[in-house]
Structure 1
Amino acid sequence: MVGYFPSWKPAKADDLRYDELTDIIYAFAIPTSEGDLRPLDNADIAKQIITKAHKQNVRVLLAVGGWSYNDVPLEATFVSATENDQKIKKFGDAIINMCDRYGFDGIDMDWEHPRVDGNTGKQYEALMLYLADKLHDEKKLLTSAVLSGATADGNVYYDAAAHSDAVLKAVDRIHVMAYDGGDGERHSPYDFSVNSIEYWTDTRNVDPNKVILGVPFYARPSWAGYGDIIKENKDAPKKDHVTYNGMDVYYNGLETMKKKAQYAKKNCGGIMIWELSQDSSDDNMSLLKVIADELSK
């Protein structure tokens, strides 16, 4: 049970349900094109989460990257930060140093995303192998957020191949982003999850225990959190599609999330959530609780 916590929502830290999680991923440490990291946002909250989590035997990882920073995509920043061996070492050391400074249990790499064309796949591999050696020497984890592997239509996602076999062997887990398949019903349906997991376990032959199914706690195209949606519509938990603020929105309701958890328990290593603060605080409506209940059976 892996859940991302966004650093820009510090007030939500007190709502974290440590008893239903194995890992919390603090998002994000932001790279610079020079191969450094920006100072960690809300570092005191990160320390607070680490302290509370460790008391309950929950690991806390630091996510590096994300899709964008200040609405500017980070892909080019990652490419620049790894453009030669010297910068790869500098960048890798900066990541390790931040991990050690705050006492994180490992790193989750969120380079979205290396590509097959050009050199970025090789740059990504070099960085990941460097991090794996250093982190594993410290008995810490290295995980990676990866493309769904398959599209919402079941076709292979071309750039998923940029996650090389060497990287897949080196990491402890991959967190499969089986969401954002589209703005409508393609956002994150059950079949999309199955196609995504089968790509990584069957086509790429990754150990299923290392493959974690990503699920969304938000809707498309509104990006509204599930918790906010169900406050406005009492029938929303039973559905995957409602009208919210005058807009048709698509998300995963209780039954779909239950079904995905059942699938994950049989076919892969667990569930990853983006992101925890978007859940309902009501136990009867909580997506996190539905997932936890299914995985613990």
Structure 2
Amino acid sequence: MIRTGSAAESSSGNPPVVKSGYYPSSGSDDFPPSAINTSFFTHVFYAFLLPSNVTFKFELSNETVVLLSNFTTTLRHKTPPVKTLLSIGGGAGDNPELPRIFAHMVSNPSSRSNFIDSAIEVARKFGFDGLDLDWEFPQSPKEMKDLGHLLKQWRREIKKEAKATDSHPLLLTAAVYFSADFFLSDVTRSYPIKSMEKYLDWANVMCFDYHGAWSNITGPNAALFDPNSNVNSVYGLRSWINGGMTPKKLVMGLPLYGRTWELKDPNDHGIGDIAIGPGPGGGQLSFNDLEVLNQESGATVVYDMDTVSVYSFNGSSWIAFDDGLTITSKIGFAQALGLRGYFFWALGQDSDWKISAQASKSWIL
């Protein structure tokens, strides 16, 4: 098993860069772990595992046991090997009950203990190097406070388990909203940054999904800047740093997919124009698929300097995405801010590892 250090250890000196990606287990038939090119990554997250909504423990089916075992065994023996983390949770769109399950789990020490002990047990059993919490998203100030309690208790149990087994402590990370504050919500709330700074090895900041077909206005999926709005990665990452998170405990999220719209008028095809619904792919396309579509359709591709994003249009179809150029710019910005690294959502959506390779090459050591 590939070992790594504790939160205290990684926060001192100059911690190693994180070049990572989430691996959706739901696509394992078409994209098995053996297909991952580990030369571009340091860490890969298995996404996702869900706790029981009754016991808050992990009740694994035979199929899941096989998937977990295959994932860690395969990546441990790849050249080069990568560290693996087990990501718990996922988007509420896939499981509408998930936010409620997490809210209930964190509400008292006993249910938190059931969850934590079971998570550590599964991670060790299958040879993972760490655990990742993907709670999208705490819905109230109380849930945010309870999240802080969870992380404190989780870190304590990780240290205790490592000492008892004479092992290096498991990594503990979390996937979080692009901003430390939910300023767009009717319920004002902020992450418990002091607890996150103290107990996490790092946080994966989801710097994407800023615009999509849920709105009838076109916009960049992952704007680095935005002259008209605070919905952009610069604002979000700085809100975390200004709130007290050490830059070396922040990892910038990058999308390997685009958002699509159907334009109301094909002649109005810029950022901020009117759409009437989702475009190709039902509103979302992998980078691989959108690149093929753009080439085959002869779409016009536009680089938008104001937002550091790319969009394409052909007839009434409009796609917002990132390419090698915008990813390079974002990597440079992440390094200028002093961040720990970056992660992709999601592995298997790249085109012959084109974006992944460009990102890895762009991070200057």
Same fold by TM (over 0.5)?
yes
Aligned-partner residue type, residue 276 of structure 1: L
Aligned-partner residue type, residue 64 of structure 1: I
Label 1:291 to 1:112 Cα distance change in 2 as closer, same or farther (>3 A).
same
Aligned-partner residue type, residue 87 of structure 1: S
- Paired position in structure 2 for 1:228: 289
Sequence identity, in percent? 22
- Paired position in structure 2 for 1:198: 238
Correspondence for 2:253 among 197, 214, 234: 214
- Paired position in structure 1 for 2:74: 52
1:170 pairs with 2:199: yes
Correspondence for 1:271 among 342, 347, 354: 342
Aligned-partner residue type, residue 200 of structure 2: V
Asked if the contact 1:23/1:58 (under 8 Å) is kept, the reply is yes
Asked if the contact 1:115/1:162 (under 8 Å) is kept, the reply is no
What are the Cα deviations for residues 163-208 of structure 1, in whole angstroms up to 9, with x where unaligned? Answer: 341222210000001111121324211212222221112x122221
How far the C-alpha of 1:62 sits from its partner, in A, is: 0.4
How far the C-alpha of 1:84 sits from its partner, in A, is: 1.8
Aligned-partner residue type, residue 72 of structure 1: P
Q: Could you say which structure has the larger radius of gyration?
A: 2
Label 1:82 to 1:129 Cα distance change in 2 as closer, same or farther (>3 A).
same
Label 1:51 to 1:123 Cα distance change in 2 as closer, same or farther (>3 A).
same
Label 1:48 to 1:114 Cα distance change in 2 as closer, same or farther (>3 A).
same
- Paired position in structure 1 for 2:325: 255
Question: How many pairs are equivalent?
Answer: 290
- Paired position in structure 1 for 2:363: 295
Asked if the contact 2:20/2:342 (under 8 Å) is kept, the reply is yes
Mapping for residues 53-92 of structure 1, pairs under 5 Å: 53-55=75-77, 56-68=80-92, 70-92=94-116
- Paired position in structure 2 for 1:36: 57
When the two chains are superposed, the root-mean-square deviation of aligned CA atoms in Å is 2.6
Secondary structure at 1:93 match in 2? helix
Aligned-partner residue type, residue 27 of structure 2: K
Secondary structure at 1:68 match in 2? coil
Q: Which runs of 5+ in 1 are unaligned?
A: none
- CA distance, structure 2, for counterparts of residue 247 and residue 5 of structure 1: 29
Label 1:72 to 1:49 Cα distance change in 2 as closer, same or farther (>3 A).
same
Secondary structure at 1:189 match in 2? coil
1:145 pairs with 2:178: no
Correspondence for 2:46 among 21, 26, 46: 26
What are the Cα deviations for residues 53-93 of structure 1, in whole angstroms up to 9, with x where unaligned? Answer: 32334100000001137542411111122232211111111
TM-score normalised to structure 2 length: 0.73
Q: Which runs of 5+ in 2 are unaligned?
A: 1-18, 163-168, 213-217, 226-231, 261-282, 304-309
- CA distance, structure 2, for counterparts of residue 24 and residue 296 of structure 1: 20
- CA distance, structure 1, for counterparts of residue 204 and residue 36 of structure 2: 20
Asked if the contact 2:252/2:334 (under 8 Å) is kept, the reply is yes
- Paired position in structure 1 for 2:222: 188
Asked if the contact 2:180/2:240 (under 8 Å) is kept, the reply is no
TM-score normalised to structure 1 length: 0.88
Label 1:261 to 1:85 Cα distance change in 2 as closer, same or farther (>3 A).
same
